[in-house]
Structure 1
């Protein structure tokens, strides 16, 4: 039964007959602002959504929230799934009422999922970070009580939600959750979004701190990418009791960290990025210097043993396809998409830049907004490369193909947001790292639109901008999500959705309820795991000054495109 009252009203009134002709893509509504948040005692509807992920069977996972305040209390906030192949209702993976899985002897509940959830490409296993009040209380050697465990990665490979990783590695009984090779050392946080593969293998980034040998009393930040194979087994405690359901006691396994040498160099990684994974392989970006890389690139690693060999796919300084010989990449994006054969990424080259002045956002976490305004009252001055592009690398043939470039086809693939940990407020959003301006590019690849990963055919979806910069700001830019088939470089680029487009082509309920006129598209989002098989899932917002609407939407991409 449809629990979306506005959508039902539009169908009853026949409003769909007022809308534009059928779009080139047939969009299905996964969830929108008319849907009730499952289990919310205040019976509120969703207000906002983050970019979704999905698996090959069209099981979509997303983070969503309702409005809060004005007597309704804190917003409902959680991770939800919907099986679009079966057309079943929304299912809650966890929300603010959910008890944090063991280890938890304090009956703590989740505060929020601070990052985009992801899902196994070929299974129904979901992985998401979660933050919460401390979950474990124990006595220190001096007899005093302490409470630990405020963040972790939570997943459901065996049915119930369990803790796959946690910052409990310094507590008795839970050393297997600690930083490998460092007994008694816990992870501080797990930045970005964790990946999951093979049904029960988590692949993630972890940050930790060690004493600074050159500065007594200070600590040195470290980071790396890791995996952990979960097992459907209880957690034994020293007193003979067990905790269940749980994921067993297999230890965290390192892939690469800031003590690992960049392949082919005598330089260690200075940074690593949250990985992607498919089958028994992980792909991640790592550099000597995150802000100004001179070494590093995108690497493929087998998920078999600690510190496995790293296979370079695309390197800083590597030849840019389609450019003059000797033109090398000097920037590579961190958010790589991987389907088991194809790796999609953003890259830039050359020295020419475009100056921008970024203004603080006006919507979102109030602490983050206030911190941005206080830190950058006149805006944040930065630059973006004039020459940049979206590319797909084939790990079987070793070929890298162009999907789209600036300035001939688009003007920008880089999008900015102010995010991170606000001093003194606790973890509040996706990164788990200090609040600052960050840039990102958005691309997702699927080599299985035609059902076969053995051929060279792929489809890549990406976000791009067209517009002119005046005095550091884009004037009336057009943002959009676009799609291109490869490997042939003469394939046309198809428009999925653009700002200004008739929003009712995506969602028939995207209509101003007072005058029944379609709302124009105002924003859109794409996640690197948002394109699996034929299924492509995105977020779209539609708005005018008088009304607004948003949702998560799914289309099946035809191989003929």
Structure 2
């Protein structure tokens, strides 16, 4: 099963790692998919430079035909060609001229790297971004004069965080400010009795459809120190007052993101989820943390309730709806067995509660489905597989809207036989009825009797309709994916086999799937003269579809080849022994036995396809067509090209810095298109003829259609 994610040029830390190659080089691949790495959140970094001009004449020919149309078919009406329309001008949400809000000690750094943004119907844009530059002292960051404990937590690294800007007509008229919701070196909300600071935000933030509720994931050091209880820790002797520290990642929410202090920082961010499920009752706040934060719905072998199980990690991006439901994928350990599931918690009760100062909300977590949930029978009455005995061995981060959740659940992620996309109501109960929308026994529209063989995890959902990617038949093509040579140093080294990574034996040499003893043109050699890459397969027959609440319709289908594809890749995960406070820029350090480590998913190449839904017949998607990558629009009948790499950067940005540049990379996510408002992240670069010339630009841009 391909877990879908996309390409970019440089990565924001944690879950990304792009290649240090010219963007144009990256698009000319021998025998397959564009191989540039893309982060799960599609981080857009302003690119390096174009060093090759052989492609220029082809590019100009393509640009001269920018009005060309793409045909598609639907179940309701035939597709007709259309030309590119002239929509309203793009508006700049943020670009490389804007100064990032940060503490005074870190100066006036400007934005330089962006994730795919999210937008709601009101035009509020939320995005993750960082500066270019900065680093630890050993990386040339220098001494800021700050307390060393402060630097030990968050480092003297790039300014990074989650931000919002009001792009409504009123916000634009008022020249609205960029408001930081949380950032490196800002305090983690309560519960936090250690004055812990945020370090990184490893996935893109999301926003509810109508209301301005935002949710993001944050990484940091442990937030809570407490005395161990003898009844829960067997080896403790009576009277032992040993303490432990827990809670190095969480989900954070703001229901009023435009409320800010005089420094431009949001004041109402609170904790929706934290790794405090084992803490139990805390007398300081008169709150039982286990009841709020433990994994719900678990039982012992005798059927009794199992309490105190802690979430290990919340992979992907949390989703939130207008009712204040915050949904997430969660991984955890039951006994010694790793399990997964999709969960939600309502956080609106925090307003006016008796523990408002704690700002953690009162709602408990509920489980929709987990590794012990049996997969529902296939939709087709003539299904060929018997799935009754299978449970969900794999779940993907869910999407929520209007009190409903959709998610992808499979028996096995790598080679799925059973599972599909399911709908469930969030009404305050565990294990609600799952309604299959599409599964691996569903016929693909317009493809005779072919069945879906792969389904993508990126689901864009408005409470009724959901758009998704799928493939059929067994034809595949091979692609070579180069190990990243920029971005997170630990991920680079793990993929490329630089250093030892096993914290116990020191013998593991890195990712076992990496080929380290060959030279290929696509991937630059390292100091030893050899390339580092992995070989993956991609379905040839693939497309985007929408379930409109009643039936499945085709948005766009392709036959993938070297220059046409819907899938993008990124190398992400947590290498062995990589702790939440690791120092970047060095090989892995071995964790001290007392340090709190995050049981995250191991590094691997993850694939993704990207679609964003405004309504059932108003959908954007990303594709590579004829070697050019960009965004296309489907209106229920026709497909229209909106923006592609190679277009003038000045089409997006009216800054003088954008003149004479061309768009180099573009990204969207599942919440990037709401009420016919599209918001994208884009990077621009110059076509240069010498090593001395270089020009970078980028930003986030919004247009109403």
**Aligned residues of 2:203 and 2:216 also touching (Cα < 8 A):** yes
Match of 2:90 in 1: 27
Match of 2:33 in 1: none
**Aligned residues of 2:190 and 2:360 also touching (Cα < 8 A):** no
Match of 2:702 in 1: 554
Match of 1:3 in 2: none
**Shift in Å, 1:200:** 1.8
Q: 1:401-412 alignment to 2 at 5 Å?
A: 401-407=553-559, 411-412=564-565
| Whole-angstrom distance in 1 between the partners of 2:181 and 2:278 | 28
Q: 1:28-43 alignment to 2 at 5 Å?
A: 28-41=91-104, 42-43=107-108
Flag the structure with more relative contact order, 1 or 2, with Cα contacts below 8 A and sequence separation at least 6.
Answer: 2
**Shift in Å, 1:281:** 0.5
CA separation of 1:23 and 1:521: change in aligned 2, threshold 3 A: farther
**Aligned residues of 1:124 and 1:199 also touching (Cα < 8 A):** no
**Aligned residues of 2:141 and 2:157 also touching (Cα < 8 A):** no
CA separation of 1:354 and 1:431: change in aligned 2, threshold 3 A: farther
Which residue among 352, 357, 371 is the counterpart of 1:244? 357
Asked if 1:322 is matched to 2:446, the reply is: yes
Taking structure 1 as the reference length, the TM-score comes to 0.85
Asked if 1:71 is matched to 2:141, the reply is: yes
**Shift in Å, 1:423:** 1.9
Match of 1:81 in 2: 164
**Aligned residues of 1:112 and 1:130 also touching (Cα < 8 A):** yes
Which residue among 596, 606, 629 is the counterpart of 1:479? 629
**Shift in Å, 1:291:** 1.2
**Shift in Å, 1:404:** 0.9
Match of 2:215 in 1: 127
Match of 1:464 in 2: 623
**Shift in Å, 1:370:** 1.7
Asked if 1:384 is matched to 2:538, the reply is: yes
**Aligned residues of 2:213 and 2:254 also touching (Cα < 8 A):** yes
Calculate the aligned-residue CA RMSD, in Å. 2.3
Match of 1:472 in 2: none
**Aligned residues of 2:663 and 2:683 also touching (Cα < 8 A):** yes
Q: Which region of structure 1 is more displaced relative to structure 2, 22-31 or 294-303?
A: 22-31
**Aligned residues of 1:235 and 1:247 also touching (Cα < 8 A):** no
| Whole-angstrom distance in 2 between the partners of 1:446 and 1:535 | 8
Asked if 1:49 is matched to 2:132, the reply is: no
Please give the per-residue CA displacement for 1:14-35, whole angstroms capped at 9, x wherever unaligned.
xxxxxx9996452110001111
**Aligned residues of 2:127 and 2:164 also touching (Cα < 8 A):** yes
Secondary structure of the 1:188 match is strand
Q: 1:215-230 alignment to 2 at 5 Å?
A: 219-230=336-347
Q: Which region of structure 1 is more displaced relative to structure 2, 138-147 or 523-532?
A: 138-147
**Aligned residues of 1:441 and 1:463 also touching (Cα < 8 A):** yes
Please give the per-residue CA displacement for 1:85-144, whole angstroms capped at 9, x wherever unaligned.
112110111112321111111111111111111011111111001111111111113311
| Whole-angstrom distance in 2 between the partners of 1:158 and 1:178 | 26
Secondary structure of the 1:437 match is strand
Asked if 1:186 is matched to 2:310, the reply is: yes
Secondary structure of the 2:412 match is coil
Match of 1:423 in 2: 576
**Count of residue correspondences:** 497
Match of 2:376 in 1: 263
Which residue among 312, 322, 325 is the counterpart of 1:198? 322
Asked if 1:116 is matched to 2:204, the reply is: yes
| Whole-angstrom distance in 2 between the partners of 1:349 and 1:191 | 27
| Whole-angstrom distance in 2 between the partners of 1:431 and 1:460 | 36
Q: Which region of structure 1 is more displaced relative to structure 2, 44-53 or 246-255?
A: 246-255
Match of 1:145 in 2: 243
**Aligned residues of 1:37 and 1:66 also touching (Cα < 8 A):** yes
**Shift in Å, 1:338:** 0.2
**Shift in Å, 1:445:** 0.8
Match of 2:235 in 1: none
Taking structure 2 as the reference length, the TM-score comes to 0.68
Unaligned residue ranges in structure 2 (runs of 5+)? 1-63, 67-84, 143-155, 230-239, 258-267, 282-288, 299-305, 378-387, 498-510, 517-531, 585-597, 689-693
Please give the per-residue CA displacement for 1:47-85, whole angstroms capped at 9, x wherever unaligned.
101000111101000001012234363111100000001
Higher strand share: 1
Asked if 1:433 is matched to 2:592, the reply is: no
| Whole-angstrom distance in 2 between the partners of 1:518 and 1:314 | 46
Q: Which region of structure 1 is more displaced relative to structure 2, 63-72 or 121-130?
A: 63-72
